Amino acid sequence: MIVRSRLLAFGYRAVAALVIVVGIARVSGLWTASPTWTSFLYYTVLSNVLCLAWMILSAVVTLRDAQREGWTGASTPSARWAAAVMEAITVTMLIYLFVLAPSLFTQPGAYQPFTLTDNLVHIITPVLVIVDWLLFVPKGRLRGYDPLLWALIPYAYLVFAFGYSALGGRFAGGTTVPYPFMDVSTHGVGGVAVWIVGLTVALVAVGYLFLGLDRLLARVGPAAEAEPAR
């Protein structure tokens, strides 16, 4: 079942976009005299930028549909793309909660997890996107192979990160990789491969959980299926 109010959807998406902007600005220092531009080399920030673009596009489509069809109904640029964006940012949250944050507690350093900035980009943005999908995106339009396609987004980032490093690029602090589990010098090629395979299995499994939830919600909200698929 979805909330068939474009007024609520537009308001939610506008506020969500604003919150995401704040998170991106804080983590990259855009409000300071010396922004940390290397922040935009990280999957965390790039996935937040993707969510920002999606929320803005969703708000625009919602407003357009409201002008054409009225304020009652559901609006999304694409139900399948909405799920893909949700999966992409869920990866950010899960890796932070189960891989990065635990390691920060065991390794001494100045960086502290679960600050307001960290929570904004790693937890709050993912929750905002998941809630948007749950409340406002029509269900029952996903395909059985979609979770496999969603994995291409983080894989595209891996190609970018390894390629950037191979060409001499450096991340924050002069490191050759953006995340510790990608460090071949520490884990070896085999170790990094094991990490990537393990994370792939996990994210595809989460994707199929989303697919199952989509089909379950479609059964309890048949009215959502009456609208033209997008």
> For 89-135, what is each residue's pLDDT tens digit?
999 999 999 988 887 766 656 577 899 999 999 999 999 999 999 99
Residue ranges of domains in the chain: 6-226
Model pTM? 0.92
Q: Are 178 and 171 in contact (CB under 8 A)?
A: yes
CA distance linking residue 77 with residue 75, whole number of Å = 7
Phi then psi for residue 92, to 5 deg, are -55, -50
pLDDT bucket at 225, cuts 50 / 70 / 90: very low
- How far is C-alpha 18 from the geometric centre of its chain's CA atoms? 16
Whose tokens are 């919602």? That residue is: 62
> For 138-153, what is each residue's pLDDT tens digit?
999 999 999 999 999 9
CA distance linking residue 69 with residue 166, whole number of Å = 51
